[in-house]
Amino acid sequence: MHPQLLQQLQQSGLSADTAPSDPARWRQFLQQVEEVYQQSDTAPSFEYSKPLAHLPQAQQEVVHIIAERDKLRSVVYSLNVGLCVFGREAQLLFINPAAREYLGFAEGLPDTQQVFSRLSIRDQWQPMQNMDAETLMRLICEGTNLNDATAALHRQDQDDIPIACTLTPISKGARITGSVLMFKDISEQQKVAGALLAAKESAETASAAKSDFLSSMSHELRTPMNAILGYGEILQEDLDDPPEAPDPDYYEDLLAYVDNILQAGRNLLGLINEVLDLTKIESGKIELKITKADLLAVVNDSVDMIRPQLLDQRLSLDVSQLPTAPIHALADAERIQQVLLQLLSNAVKHNKEQGQVEVRIEQTSVESVRLVVADTGVGMAEEQQAQIFKPFTRISGRNLSKGTGVGLTIAKQLLDVMGGHIGLESTLDVGTTFWIELPTGETSAPSKQANPSTDRKYLLLYIEDSRTNVSLMGKILQDRPEIAFISAPTGEMGLELARAHRPDIILLDINLPGINGFEVLERLRSVPGTRDIPVIGLSADDSSAALSQAKTAGFVHYMIKPLKKALFLEALDKLAVQEKASL
C-alpha cells in the first residue's frame, strides 16, 4: 500500500488489515484524503506493493476507487488543454495546470469572475457581441451548452491568444450539478488555415488569370483565322466561276484576297511567336546573350526599321537628344531591339496625325542608362496605365492597333529577366512617354586596378534572379560597410560582370534562368581572370545529390536557403582574412 495512504489510515485510527466499523472515522479518513489531493500541485501516483486479496471487501473497493481517481487526475493534470470545473452556483471548484498557465494564475484558486474576465466568448445568438462574466455565470447555473471556435484569451502586456472553448454541463440524472469549461490555443491552426486560404486564393487568381488569358488568346487567334478562311472561301468561289473574258477587276480582286490572306497569316504567325515567347519567359526557358550592347547602334537600327511607318502616318521623328558616342548596357542587344521596336510601333500607331515621336538616351547614373520613347498621341488614363502590361490589353476606345496585345507584356518580362525596368508617364490627349532602364555593368566601387592598397573595399558579386533576395542581401551587407555590392539577374550577365570587375567574392544562386549556377561556376573556372575568385553557392536543394555535386564543383562554401545571416557573414569574414593574407 502507498505510504501516504497508509499514513492517512493511521491518522484516522483505522487499520489496513480490518474493515472500518466507525462511520465517523471513515468519513474523517475520506476527508483527509480529499484535502491531500486538493493541496497537491501534481497528481500523486499510487504504487501498490502488496496484493489486495488479503484486504476486506470494503477496503478493496476504497483502494480501487482511489486508484481510479488517481488515474483520472493524472490525465487531467497532463492535458495541454485548459480545464475548469464549476459548481451548481458557478463557483470554481478546480483548475488544471494548463488553465493556470493560460490564465496566469500561479497559486490559489481564483474566483469565477477572475477566470471569465480573461476570456472573450461570443454570444451564439449575437455573434458580434462578447458575453460578460455575469452572463457566463448565469449560463452555468442554467446548465447551458456553449461552443465558440472564435474566442480569445487576454493576457497582460501580451497579444491575445485565439482559442476554441466549450462549456458543458455536468448532470446527475435530471439534475445539473455543475459545468466544465475546456479551452485550447488554436494559433497554429489559424496560421495553417490562413496559409491554406492564401494558397487557395492564389490558385484561384492564377486559374482566373489563365482562363482570361486563354479566352483572350482564343479571340486573338480567331480574328486572323476568320480572315484567312473568309477570304479563302471567297477566293475559291471566284476561281470556281471565272469570267469568260479577261477582266482586270477580277484579277485585282484575286490579288487583294491573296494579300489579305497572307497578311492575316503573318499576323497569326506573329501572335503565335509572341505567345511562345511569353511562355518561354514565364517558364524560365528564354535564352539570352548578355553582352556589352551598343545602345546607340540598337536605336539607329530600330529607327531605320520604323521610318516607313513614320512616313505613312506623316509623323516627324526627333533624335536630336541622341549622343554621338556609343553608350553601352549589359543586355541582350537583339531582345533590347525587340522591346524598342515594340515601343516605337506603339508610338506610331497611337499617335495623332502629323504628330511627333522622340527617341533619346539618358545616362541616369554610372550603374544604369535609359532609353526613352515619347509620342504626342492619345495618351492613357491612370487606370489604363495600371493594366497596360497585362496580356491582350489595349487602350479602351482607342483600338487603333492591329497588334496582338502581348507585346508590352513580353517587353516587361524580358527586361525583368535582364535586370532592367520599364515604366511610363501618360496624359490623355497629350501623349505617352515610355522608358526602359538597363544596367551598364559599371559600378562606383573602386576597382582593383584603381586602388591596389590593402584597405580598399572588397567587391561582392551576387548572381541571383530574385529581386527580393538581392534586396535582402543589400540589407545583410549593411553590417559589412567595407564590402561593395553589385548584382546580376542571370548567369550570362554575372559572367560579364565577373570578367569586367574581377570581384573578390561571388555569391552564386544555383537555380537561375538560362544557364544554372553549376555551369556558371564551370565557365568562371575556365577563364584565367576569374579562375581563382572564391565562389559561395546558394540553393534551396539540400538533397545528398546536390550537396555531392556542389562539393565536386569546387564551391568554397555551399549554403542552403533560407540563408542564415550569422553563418554567411562569418564565411565572408574568413574569406576576407584569407584575401588579405594573400596580398
Q: Is the pLDDT of residue 357 over 90?
A: yes
Mean pLDDT of all residues in 84-98: 90
3-state SS string for 165-197: EEEEEEEECCEEEEEEEEEEECHHHHHHHHHHH
Handedness of CA 306, 312, 313, 314 (dihedral sign): positive
For the stretch 414-434, pLDDT in tens is 888 788 899 999 999 899 999
pLDDT grade for 106, boundaries at 50, 70 and 90: confident
For the stretch 276-290, pLDDT in tens is 777 776 665 666 777
Q: Is the pLDDT of residue 97 over 80?
A: yes
| Residue 464 or 405, more confident | 464
Name the strand (E) or helix (H) holding 557.
strand 557-560
Alpha helices by DSSP H, 357-460: 382-387, 407-417
pLDDT grade for 481, boundaries at 50, 70 and 90: confident
User: pLDDT at position 54, please?
Assistant: 59
pTM score above 0.75: no
List Cα–Cα distances, 183 to 73, 157, 306, in angstroms. Answer: 18, 21, 73
Output the CA angle 491-495-498, nearest 5 degrees. 130
Residue with grid cell 489486495, as numbered in its chain: 52
End-to-end alpha-carbon separation of the chain, Å?
A: 81
| Residue 157 or 165, more confident | 165
What is the average pLDDT value for the chain, to the nearest integer? Answer: 82
User: pLDDT at position 319, please?
Assistant: 92
User: pLDDT at position 447, please?
Assistant: 44
Copy the grid coordinates of residue 546: 546536390
Bridge partners, residue 509, by sequence: 538
User: pLDDT at position 49, please?
Assistant: 42
3-state SS string for 481-529: CCEEEEEECCHHHHHHHHHHHCCCEEEEECCCCCCCHHHHHHHHHHCCC
Output the CA angle 83-84-89, nearest 5 degrees. 155
| Residue 176 or 361, more confident | 361
